[in-house]
Amino acid sequence: MLQLRSPLFVLSLAVATIACTQVAPEDLAFPSSSTVKASVDEAPSTTSTTTPSVIVSLADLSGLIAVAGAPEVGISLPNGEQAWAAPADTRFSQPTWLRDGTRSIFFDFDPLVEGSGRIHSVDTATGTWTTAEARRPYFFFSPSYGGDFFAALGPGASGTSLDILDSTGRPASTQTLDAGSFYLAWEPGGDDLLLHRDAMLELARDPLDLETRESLGEPGQSFLAPSWIPGTREALIATTSATGNRLVRINVDTGEEFDLGPVSGTVGLVVAPDGSRALVAHGAAGTGDLAIANRRVEAVTGATEIIDLTTGARELVSQGQAFWAEWTRDGSRLVLLQAAEGGTAALEWVVWEDGAVTRLGLFSPSPSFFRNYVFFAWQFVESPRVWSPDGQAVVYGGIDGDGTPGIYVHRLGAERSDRISDGDVAFWSPR
Q: Please state the three-class secondary structure of the chain as a single string.
A: CCCCCCCCCCCCCCHHHCCCCCCCCCCCCCCCCCCCCCCCCCCCCCCEECCCCCCCCHHHCCCCEEEECCCCCCEECCCCCEEECCCCCCCEEEEEECCCCCEEEEEECCCCCCCCCEEEEEECCCCCEEEEECCCCCCEEEECCCCCEEEEEEEECCEEEEEEEECCCCECCCCCEEECCEEEEECCCCCCEEEEECCEEEEECCCCCCCCCEECCCCCCCECCCEECCCCCEEEEEECCCCCEEEEEEECCCCCEEEEEEECECEEEEECCCCCEEEEEEEEEEEEEEEECCEEEEEEEEEEEEEECCCCCEEEEECCCCCEEEECCCCCCEEEEEECHHHCCCEEEEEEECCEEEEEEEEEECHHHHHHCHHHCCCCCCCCCCECCCCCEEEEEEECCCCCEEEEEEECCCCCCEEEECCCEEEECCC
pLDDT > 70: what percent of the chain?
Answer: 81
**Spatial distance between the Cα atoms of 54 and 332, rounded to a whole number of angstroms:** 15
The pLDDT of residue 375 is: 86
The pLDDT of residue 88 is: 83
Q: Is the pLDDT of residue 420 over 50?
A: yes
> Minimum mean pLDDT among 44-53, 113-122, 276-285: which range?
44-53
Task: Assign 423 a pLDDT band (cuts: 50, 70, 90).
Answer: very high
**Spatial distance between the Cα atoms of 107 and 317, rounded to a whole number of angstroms:** 36
- When the pLDDT of each residue in the chain is averaged and rounded to a whole number, the result is 83
Task: Assign 25 a pLDDT band (cuts: 50, 70, 90).
Answer: very low
pLDDT in tens, 283-320: 754 444 433 334 444 444 578 999 999 999 999 998 87
Cβ distance 79 to 33 under 8 Å?
no
**Spatial distance between the Cα atoms of 155 and 139, rounded to a whole number of angstroms:** 8
Residue 330 within any structural domain of the chain = yes
The pLDDT of residue 345 is: 62
> Minimum mean pLDDT among 33-42, 161-170, 204-213: which range?
33-42
Residue 289 within any structural domain of the chain = yes
**Spatial distance between the Cα atoms of 246 and 240, rounded to a whole number of angstroms:** 7
In this structure, which long-range contacts are made by residues 310-313, counting pairs with CB atoms below 8 Å and at least 24 apart in sequence? Answer: 310/276, 312/259, 312/260, 312/261
Cβ distance 76 to 397 under 8 Å?
no
Residue 260 within any structural domain of the chain = yes
Q: Is the pLDDT of residue 43 over 50?
A: no
The pLDDT of residue 11 is: 36
Residue 354 within any structural domain of the chain = yes
pLDDT in tens, 58-107: 999 999 999 998 877 899 999 999 999 988 888 788 999 999 999 999 99
pLDDT in tens, 365-396: 999 999 889 988 998 877 789 999 999 999 99
**Spatial distance between the Cα atoms of 120 and 132, rounded to a whole number of angstroms:** 7
The pLDDT of residue 241 is: 80
Which CATH number belongs to the domain containing residue 393 in this structure? Answer: 2.130.10.120
The structure's pTM equals: 0.84
What domain count does the chain have? 1
Q: Is the pLDDT of residue 18 over 60?
A: no
At residue 332, φ and ψ (nearest 5 deg) are -85, -20
pLDDT in tens, 396-410: 999 987 889 999 999
The pLDDT of residue 113 is: 63
Cβ distance 210 to 204 under 8 Å?
yes
Of residues 130 and 109, more confidence is placed in 130
Residue 392 within any structural domain of the chain = yes
**Spatial distance between the Cα atoms of 228 and 240, rounded to a whole number of angstroms:** 19
Residue 187 within any structural domain of the chain = yes
Smallest CA-to-CA distance from 300 within 6, 1, 2 is with 6
Arithmetic mean of pLDDT, 197-203? 97
Task: Assign 114 a pLDDT band (cuts: 50, 70, 90).
Answer: low
- Structural domain containing residue 324: 15-428
Residue 1 within any structural domain of the chain = no
Task: Assign 32 a pLDDT band (cuts: 50, 70, 90).
Answer: very low
Judged on CB neighbours under 10 Å (0-12, 13-18, 19+), 288 is exposed
Residue 10 within any structural domain of the chain = no
